[in-house]
């Protein structure tokens, strides 16, 4: 019941956001979007895990660490110098205990932090500012067991999060950032502190004036107001596309070939059918559009479990090529609030019913008036490590046919 309530709340918030859409003027941001920004940062993450964190009687002489990490934030300006931010921070790969008790057992400890924080900017001059950040983080840790005995317990709790940073303004849109972020240790949850030092950028959306918005609206470039799509995918084709974009495709001596921009999932769908509706919120002059969408998906797992999923989601679409015959695009959708009918699938702890839907695809609009659509799409369901059960679901590549109107 709690999971259903959370999902309903997320959907209501999303609908409130989408309700700001202007019917006639899609070339101007909504009031909410015009005061929003996103931030992407990469750097080192430090968490002093040690043998002290393990159950008595278990230890290792060596550890494998990858310090590289990232943090993604979506922000909204309450005023010029005060913002609220939501985002996630995690290492690129997990901390590993090597050869525990010299029995050849190697295992990883996963950590992930979703945060909600307030950010205050302090201007030094016209080009430079520093900021202070404070808020709360949902910290999730996946521990491990040996022979069904917990050696390092899972943990899931609320933690404080702090941050300081220096920013250089390239323009009203772009800011370069140097950041420090800190989560304190928790003796209660046997969790050491987490520190991140990173560098990246903030991109602030800027509203165009009415004259430019009108010019965009009257130009020749096609942007569909509505799209209705039907998709089918089969596991017989395999999950090579999912693995490539999740950087986990085995090729020759490489076990992790690909690009790390998507996710796979331990649960594999053997058959999947989706029905999707998307509606335009905003379009730029030529290259970018933002849609919101609704989807219903049925899939049957490899273990022949029947599952239904329903989601509301944002869609970022980037037009790669426009010519007389078709418009080619790529799209990306993450953190779409979703309800999935099975909490655990095929004996795998895939997570609670409340989850998120992610999609990624390449497609084109074709026909004289671009009335038709074809797309290749991969999908993923998981809760983003908000909970300690998060094996995730991989939907194989779907062949999608659509109609614009």
For position 389, what pLDDT does the model report?
Answer: 77
3-state secondary structure of 305: coil
Mean residue pLDDT of the chain comes to 90
Return the sign of the alpha-carbon dihedral for residues 216, 220, 225, 230: negative
Read off the pLDDT band of 183 (50, 70, 90): very high
3-state secondary structure of 5: helix
Tell me the average pLDDT across 299-310.
95
Is pLDDT of 49 > 50? yes
77 CB-contact burial (10 Å; exposed 0-12 / middle 13-18 / buried 19+): middle
**Whole-Å CA distances, 158 to 164, 259, 359, 370:** 20, 32, 29, 49
For position 25, what pLDDT does the model report?
Answer: 61
306-322 and 393-404 as β-strands: parallel, antiparallel, unpaired? unpaired
Is pLDDT of 306 > 60? yes
CA distance 233 to 398: 4
In the chain, CATH 2.40.160.20 sits at: 36-204, 216-404
The model's pTM is 0.78
Among candidate residues 87, 75, 179, 187, the one with its CA nearest the CA of residue 138: 87
Is pLDDT of 74 > 50? yes
Query: 43: which 2 tokens?
Result: 């750097």
For position 271, what pLDDT does the model report?
Answer: 95
Tell me the average pLDDT across 11-28.
55
Question: Looking up tokens 């030529």, which residue turns up?
Answer: 286
Query: What CATH class does 216-404 carry?
Result: mainly beta
CA distance 37 to 83: 10
Question: Looking up tokens 């278990």, which residue turns up?
Answer: 58
Tell me the average pLDDT across 255-268.
86
Q: What is the DSSP string of 40-94?
A: EEEEEEE----GGGSPTT---SEEE---EEEEEEEEEEEETTEEEEEEEEEESS-
Architecture of domain 36-204: Beta Barrel (2.40)
Classify residue 237 by its DSSP letter: G
Read off the pLDDT band of 379 (50, 70, 90): very high
Question: Looking up tokens 């799409």, which residue turns up?
Answer: 377
Which range (81-85, 170-174, 288-292, 381-385) has the least confidence?
A: 381-385
Read off the pLDDT band of 378 (50, 70, 90): very high
For position 2, what pLDDT does the model report?
Answer: 41
């Amino acid at each position: 019941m709690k999971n259903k309530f959370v999902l309903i709340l997320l959907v209501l918030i999303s609908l409130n956001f989408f309700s700001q859409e202007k019917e006639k003027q899609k070339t101007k941001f909504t009031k909410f979007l015009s005061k929003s920004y996103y931030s992407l940062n990469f750097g080192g993450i430090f968490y002093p895990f040690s043998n002290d964190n393990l159950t008595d009687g278990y230890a290792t002489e060596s550890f494998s660490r990858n310090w590289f990490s990232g943090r993604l934030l979506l922000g909204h300006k309450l005023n010029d110098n005060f913002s609220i931010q939501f985002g996630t921070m995690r290492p690129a790969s997990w901390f590993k205990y090597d050869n525990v008790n010299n029995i050849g057992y190697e295992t990883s400890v996963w950590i992930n932090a979703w945060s909600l924080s307030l950010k205050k900017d302090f201007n030094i001059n016209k080009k430079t500012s520093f900021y202070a950040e404070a808020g709360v983080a949902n910290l999730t840790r996946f521990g491990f067991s040996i022979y069904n005995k917990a050696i390092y317990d899972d943990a899931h709790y609320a933690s404080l999060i702090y941050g300081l940073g220096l920013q250089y303004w390239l323009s009203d849109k772009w800011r370069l950032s140097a950041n420090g972020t800190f989560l304190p240790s928790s003796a209660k949850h046997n969790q050491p502190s987490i520190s991140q030092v990173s560098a990246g950028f903030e991109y602030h959306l800027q509203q165009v004036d009415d004259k430019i918005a009108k010019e965009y609206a009257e130009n020749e470039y096609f942007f569909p107001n509505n799209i209705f799509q039907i998709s089918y995918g089969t596991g017989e084709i395999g999950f090579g596309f999912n693995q490539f974009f999740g950087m986990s495709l085995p090729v020759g001596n490489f076990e992790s070939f690909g690009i790390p921009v998507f996710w796979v999932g331990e649960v594999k769908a053997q058959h999947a059918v989706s029905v999707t509706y998307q509606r335009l919120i905003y379009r730029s002059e030529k290259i970018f559009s933002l849609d919101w969408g609704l989807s219903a998906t049925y899939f049957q797992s490899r273990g022949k479990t029947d599952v239904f999923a329903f989601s509301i989601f944002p869609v970022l679409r980037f037009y790669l090529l426009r010519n007389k015959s078709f418009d080619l695009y790529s799209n990306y959708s993450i953190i779409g609030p979703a309800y999935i009918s099975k909490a655990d699938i095929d004996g795998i702890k895939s997570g609670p019913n409340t989850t998120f839907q992610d999609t990624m695809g390449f497609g084109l609009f074709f026909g004289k008036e671009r009335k038709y659509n074809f797309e290749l799409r991969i999908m993923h369901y998981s809760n983003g490590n908000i909970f300690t059960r998060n094996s995730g679901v991989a939907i194989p590549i779907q062949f999608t046919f659509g109609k614009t109107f």
